[in-house]
Amino acid sequence: MRKIAKSALDSLFAAMSESKKVYLPVDGEGGARYQLWTEGTVLSEAVNTVRSAKDFFFPQTENLVEFKMEGKKLDVIDVRRETEDFVIFGVRACDVRSFDILDRVFLGAPVDTYYKNRREHGVIVSLACNKPAETCFCQTFGIDASAPAGDIVCHMTDDTLFLDAKTEKGEKLLATLEGVTEPCADSAADEQKALIRSRLDKLPLKGLTADKFGGDKTKEFFNDPAWASLSESCLGCGTCTFVCPTCQCYDIKDFKTADGVRRFRCWDSCMYSEFTKMSAGQPRLTQKERFRQRFMHKLVYYPANNEGIFGCVGCGRCLAKCPIQMNIVKVMKKLGEGGDKND
Amino acid sequence: MSVTNEEYRPLIVAFCCNWCSYAGADLAGNNRLAYPADVKIIRVPCSCRVNPAFILRAFQRGADGVIICGCHPGDCHYTSGNYYTRRRMALLFSMLDYLGIEKERTRVEWVSAAEGAKFAATMNDFCKTVAALGENKRLEDLRCKK
Amino acid sequence: MQKVTRDILVNKAKELLANGTVDRVYGWKKGEFAYDVTPALFKSEKELDEFVFGDFCGANVSKYLVAESKKAGGKILVFLKPCDTYSLNQLTTEHRVDREKIYAVGIPCEGMLTGSALKDKVDSVLSVETEGDTVKVETLYDGVKTFPASDLLPDRCRNCKSKKHVTYDELIGEDGEVLDSGRFDEVEKLEKMTPDERFAFWQGELSRCIRCNACRDVCPACTCEKCVFDNPKSGLENKAAADSFEEKMFHIIRAFHVAGRCTDCGECSRVCPQHIPLHLLNRKFIKDMNTFYGEYQAGEVVGNRPPVVNYTKEDIEPSEAVKRGE
């Protein structure tokens, strides 16, 4: 483990920037968001960014391929951008877990090479949450915010940042930082970890459990009448899916450019009326079915296909951002208590 | 207007009402009145057919200026279409200005079927104004650029 | 802050359910925290146990009446704040709701807090209490913080346009007046900037847009069955802004399509997850229409004709319209 004074963070980021681009959460209008580090950029103290860190590996829009016609000749051009190495600094425990969830989707066969390319170029430096918010419930999914995963794991005290490399990638990066950091005992951050753990114990959503959900629960929940009342006021907007670190649905579309056709993909939302529309129409006719799809995917379908791992990481973004304040916690509580079946 | 090859040539989209301005353009042609070939005319049944989205689409697709030409107020073939155009465009242009987009890039002119000379003069003037502004950067879609 | 209490509303709802005037109630349901109140439908006296009313019940429920008033059954009871009544009137004008099936009870409003505005100022909110115009926020790590309510109120409430109910079947408390608000001040500030500054301002704001469509979906004026932005055949459909042009396109068209019908309820800005001041686009249209075509308030009277579908022979020319202020 190595350490650096909090007041010297700039020199740390400068040292990282020598070999890689460094992105970190920065405060701005509307909340914190990831930004490229340049001289003078200040790390945000916010508990998390408004948009999740999935943007780095799975951006909202991405060009896949371009088609150009010349006479009768059709050129297919790979427009993939060569990705440079980059560091995402300050990723929270929940978002780090979200990468595992995305990996299972995009790196399983057939491998999404666009995603894989970026994943290989990215180094994740996680940062334990000193002040988890009231909306946080990562513990429900077995995530320990005091000890996040990541290539390098960081803990911040009032005056010091501790860095602990956990993977080969992390060790390589940390080795380049030896000039600005100094070694310290492996137990140096233990006090901070204990403080965070005591704070996690006091969170209002601490008691929430996902025990009642899992891959084999389709029949139990699918026809619960509670879906109707839960989705009653859902507006059908995409806020929850777009701020979610694990939502991974996308659409592939063509755009006619000045001299050809560009095929790109963009995030899609199961909350939208056009989602997965086919020639026979929309498979989910009303908002109730669309709403059910989102939560069943996170709590039942995803674990069914991925050894019981839930598709939610408890980051709490949807709790903070839903325009009508309906969210996965309310859904889990309602269904977990037996839904409306007893009425 | 003499234009050399090196000069910047703006792309102008002109929405012309079928009954007045389009006929005005015809008259300009018949009378051998010159106006720049940079003007691409789109014929519409009435100036009020022009949905604000058409104007934005024109800019997206590479237009540097958009002009809407209709019958003089009071002379609409459908009695009141151009009155609605007038209100709609006043609001839209004001909004574009509010968003910081150069207001000289959009214009509404009333040109009757008998005003071939006015049509040519309007187009010449509009092309000159837009050429002076240069390329449309603020409402461009980079994907539509060559 | 609020002068009416939950109990007054619940008793009124129970009374109207019992005497058969209505058979369901659109209201607000308690959440996990102080601020996460969800609009919800209550179908029986028993369900009303979960009914809440307080300083976070800002959601304008009138849009839900579009779908709800088409359903079979009796009348629906709604509690409407003054600004919500304008929306209901406008929806009635457009024949989007069946007014006969709605029993509107007007309730006074002292301004509504929003979770997102609150969380901009305070982290980790445990509970919120209001006493008069003071808001006491209990936090996880910083103890109790107090704010004057005006610090936490969103723009729409700080510049409230009217405390008058323009439609109701019954009123709780006293009716207010149309207020002389400063709601166009921000618009004027922008108008006074140079075009370059304005462009930079909006480019910055709109670049944060994630195209979640919340502003559109919450808007009581946006009631098209199929929005052009969702319709692959419209030529305008887009699910994500692939170019900064598409951000502008969406927001210009969104605001333009509700011009003349927008009552300035401010829901668009309340729900924006990226805090884009979308109401400043709508207010620009309202201000322009007032200046060009005379004062007009959408939803003030049922049956009013919005300026964009009206004309006079002496209307201002578009070229003159953009010249003002020069």
Per-residue confidence (pLDDT) for residue B68, from 0 to 100:
98
- Asked if A267 and C240 come within 8 Å (Cβ–Cβ), the reply is yes
Interface residue B143 vs chain A (CB under 8 A): yes
pLDDT in tens, A282-335: 899 999 999 999 999 999 999 999 999 999 999 999 999 999 999 999 999 999
Chain C residues within an 8 Å CB radius of A253: 239
Chain A residues within an 8 Å CB radius of B144: 257-258
Instruction: Report the greatest alpha carbon distance in chain B.
Output: 45
Q: So what's the ipTM on this one?
A: 0.93
- pLDDT greater at residue C238 or residue B23: B23
- Asked if A257 and B143 come within 8 Å (Cβ–Cβ), the reply is yes
Residues 58 through 117 of chain B touching chain C, CB cutoff 8 Å: 59-60, 73-74, 80, 83-84, 86-103, 106-108
Per-residue confidence (pLDDT) for residue A341, from 0 to 100:
60
Interface residue B53 vs chain C (CB under 8 A): yes
- Asked if A321 and C240 come within 8 Å (Cβ–Cβ), the reply is no
Residue A291 contacts residue A227 (beta carbons within 8 Å): yes
**E strand segments, B2-141:** 12-17, 39-44, 65-70, 106-110
Q: What are phi and psi of A256, to 5 degrees?
A: -80, 110
* Min Cα separation B75/chain A (Å): 39
Per-residue confidence (pLDDT) for residue B101, from 0 to 100:
95
Which of A274, A277, A337 to mutate against chain C (most C CBs within 10 Å)?
Answer: A274
Position B6 confidence tier, pLDDT thresholds 50, 70, 90: low
* Min Cα separation B145/chain A (Å): 6
Q: Could you tell me the residue ranges of all domains in chain B?
A: 12-138
Report how many Cβ contacts below 8 Å link chain B to chain C.
Answer: 119
Assigned domain for A110 exists: yes
Q: Of A255, A259, A262, which is closest to B146 when you measure between CB atoms?
A: A259
Position B146 confidence tier, pLDDT thresholds 50, 70, 90: confident
Shared domain check, A249 and A194: no
Residue A175 contacts residue A150 (beta carbons within 8 Å): no
Whether pLDDT at A30 is above 90? no
* Min Cα separation B143/chain A (Å): 5
Per-residue confidence (pLDDT) for residue C245, from 0 to 100:
94
CA–CA distance, A215 with A304 (Å, rounded to integer):
4
Shared domain check, A177 and A44: yes
pLDDT in tens, B45-64: 999 999 999 999 999 999 99
Angle at C20 between CA C18 and CA C26, to 5 degrees: 85
Whether pLDDT at A343 is above 70? no
Residue A245 contacts residue A53 (beta carbons within 8 Å): yes
Which of C127, C250, C274 to mutate against chain A (most A CBs within 10 Å)?
Answer: C274
Angle at A120 between CA A119 and CA A122, to 5 degrees: 65
Shared domain check, A159 and A24: yes
In b/e form, how buried is each residue of B85-101, taking b as 16+ CB within 10 angstroms? bbbbbbbbbbbbbbbbb
What average pLDDT does range A95-110 have in this prediction?
Answer: 96
Shared domain check, A181 and A56: yes
CA–CA distance, C123 with C8 (Å, rounded to integer):
32
Per-residue confidence (pLDDT) for residue A338, from 0 to 100:
81
Shared domain check, A141 and A31: yes
Own/partner pairs for C226-235, CB < 8 Å, 24+ apart?
C226/A273, C228/B53, C228/C253, C229/C253, C230/A272, C230/A273, C230/A274, C231/A274, C232/A274, C232/A277, C235/B57
Whether pLDDT at A10 is above 90? yes
Which of these, A184, C36, C321, A104, lies nearest to B85 by C-alpha position?
A: C321
Domain end call among A141, A175, A201: A201
The stretches of chain C forming alpha helices (DSSP H) are: 6-18, 64-68, 82-93, 115-121, 149-152, 155-158, 185-192, 195-206, 214-218, 244-257, 267-271, 279-293, 318-321
Average pLDDT, chain A: 94
State which fold the B12-138 domain adopts: Rossmann fold (3.40.50)
Q: What is the mean pLDDT of each run of 10 residues along chain C (326 residues)?
A: 94 97 95 92 95 94 95 96 97 96 96 89 91 93 93 93 96 93 95 96 95 96 93 87 92 96 96 96 97 96 95 95 76
Give the H or E element holding residue A35: strand A31-36
Chain C residues within an 8 Å CB radius of A269: 212, 239
Strands A261-267 and A250-256: antiparallel
pLDDT in tens, A233-273: 999 999 999 999 999 999 999 999 988 999 999 999 999 99
Domain end call among A166, A201, A236: A201
* Min Cα separation C84/chain A (Å): 16
Whether pLDDT at A176 is above 80? yes
With pLDDT > 70 as the criterion, what percentage of chain B qualifies?
96
Which of A257, A259, A266 to mutate against chain B (most B CBs within 10 Å)?
Answer: A257
Question: What subunits make at least 3 CB pairs under 8 angstroms with A?
Answer: B, C
* Min Cα separation C31/chain A (Å): 8
Shared domain check, A173 and A38: yes
Question: What subunits make at least 3 CB pairs under 8 angstroms with C?
Answer: A, B
Shared domain check, A263 and A149: no
pTM: 0.95
Shared domain check, A137 and A170: yes
Assigned domain for A141 exists: yes
* Min Cα separation A230/chain C (Å): 9
Domain membership of residue A259 as a residue range: 218-336
CA–CA distance, A12 with C249 (Å, rounded to integer):
41
Domain end call among A201, A229, A247: A201
Domain count within chain A: 2
Shared domain check, A278 and A166: no
Shared domain check, A36 and A162: yes
Shared domain check, A107 and A29: yes
Read off the tokens for C167: 């439609």
Q: Of C35, C39, C212, which is closest to A324 when you measure between CB atoms?
A: C39
Residue B128 contacts residue B1 (beta carbons within 8 Å): yes
What average pLDDT does range A39-43 have in this prediction?
Answer: 94
Read off the tokens for C172: 């709780």
Shared domain check, A109 and A77: yes
